[in-house]
Amino acid sequence: MAITIEIDHARTRARAAAAAGSPVVPQAVKGPIRRIKWAILLLTLSIYYVTPFVRWDRGPNAPDQAVLLDFANGRLYAFFVEIWPQDLYLVTGLLVHASTILILTNALAGRLWCGFACPQTVWTDLFLLVERLIEGDRRQRLKNIGAPLTPKRVVQTVAKHAAWLLIALATGGTLIFYFTDAPELLRDLAVGNLSANALTWIAVFTGTTYGLAGFAREQVCTFMCPWPRLQGAIWNPEAYTVNYRDYRGEQRTSAKKAAELRLRGETAGDCVDCGQCVAVCPIGIDIRQGPNFACINCGLCVDACDGVMAKLGRPRGLIDYESWANIERGRRKEVPRNRLLRPKTLGLTAACLALAGTIGVAFAMKTTASLSVQHDRDPVAVRLSDGSLRNAYTVKLLNKSSSAHRYTLSVSGIDGKLSIVGNEDLSPIEVGADASESLRVTLTAADAEQRDVVFTARDETGRALSATDRFVER
């Protein structure tokens, strides 16, 4: 089944709006989907604003902030998880896993993430709520565009932008809290004792939130975000996206004319061309024109259309979450089919589970200490006057725990003498908490045969770390 996602009418709408100098002004709507969106907005904003202040006891010498991106010390903390630069492969795995989940969501229900939980959508909804509370709903705001300024409008405009800036400042300030101790930074902010670096980043994030959520709303979702550009490659006609059941809605006519036609026993489409689906759309598209790459699948047009159908005494679902394949089946008067379980979705689900399992095992096997050995390159070996051969290595001990440990170094796999430069008696090496120690090590052997050697570092608890390298002739 070959389907082309229409993008021309989204571009035409954007060009027309730009030419007219008028932004998209969505109308408020009530309904179950809108209530779900409000619930998700409250949940996501609560998580975002509260998380930096959640505490997590990691013991002495460790930060107690539950989620902390401590770039200054090269640490990422998330509750019981601690990630060092050496563990960034786990972050890569998590990003791949998140991308796979996003693709799976798209295969099931299109741009569901975009319509409900994307930060751009959440903050745009919050800014729109403030705008409606201060300036009124769509009709009043459209009247205000281009109208002469009055004292009332000046007060409303100043109040709206002041509220937007406060929200943007709270957003930018909270984001900085994730990079340092939040309560301490909040105290510094209260007394005006912030560093220039912190103030600069707060200003940058505040301005970004204010600009994107206040002015670039639909442009971000339509033109700036890369996700819509991928729709042509990953869009699936069996996915449950927002669609218009044209076989039920056409031919469009007024409610009065449709009632007269039905009284005479003639067929009339359910769509009365009221335009409510377009009025409530945050992107400003007309879903009745077919699949659109700009549609974020928020479902507000579903609520709007269901409200009109209820008033007209018609069945709900003229616009609904429905697969495009079922729309075509409806045109042919065939029975709709639910094909959420299909090879693509099953394969993606299996991939998500496999990635989650792999990442879980990697986290479980992650140690709080490591040993690495690097052989000298120039020269790789030195022949001594007595005929024996010496190889040199750099041994690095990394202690990622919150307490110091003492390690005893030994070597196996060769009959030779191990020496630590500056520690001739091979006494235990102390590595501080959350620290590392590099050692210069030599290994001397009368037998010049090349072989693998195993370096072992054992701490005071008996736990052993090991690393393998080569003893070479030249």
Residue spans of the domains in the chain: they are: 1-20+234-362, 21-233, 369-471
Per-residue pLDDT at 85 exceeds 50 = yes
Closest among 444, 448, 383, 437 to 406, alpha carbons compared: 437
- What average pLDDT score do residues 21-28 get? 81
192 torsion bin: left (phi>0), alpha (psi -120 to 50), beta (else):
left
Superfamily classification of domain 369-471: Immunoglobulins (2.60.40.10)
What is residue 379's predicted lDDT score, i.e. its pLDDT? 87
pLDDT at 22: 62
- Band of residue 14 on the pLDDT scale cut at 50, 70, 90: very low
pLDDT band of residue 35 (cuts 50, 70, 90) is very high
Cis peptide before 379 (omega within 30 of 0): yes
What sign for the dihedral angle of Cα 291, 293, 298, 300? negative
| Cα Rg of the chain (Å, integer) | 32
pTM of the model: 0.83
Strand partners, 244: 319
For residue 400, CA distances in Å to 73, 369, 375, 408, 436 come to: 12, 5, 24, 17, 8
Q: How far apart are CA 170 and CA 392, in angstroms?
A: 55
Distance in Å from the first CA to the final CA of the chain = 65
When pLDDT is averaged across residues 179-200 and rounded to a whole number, the result is 87
Top mean pLDDT of 261-265, 281-285, 303-307, 428-432 is at: 303-307
Residues 260 and 268: their CA atoms lie apart, in Å, by 9
Cα separation, 91 vs 375, whole angstroms: 29
Residue 211: predicted pLDDT: 94
Torsion of CA 350, 356, 359, 360, to 10 degrees: -130
What per-residue confidence (pLDDT) applies to 159? 96
Give the model confidence (pLDDT) of 336-365 as tens digits.
999 889 999 999 999 999 999 999 999 888
Residues 6+ apart with CB under 8 A from 311: none
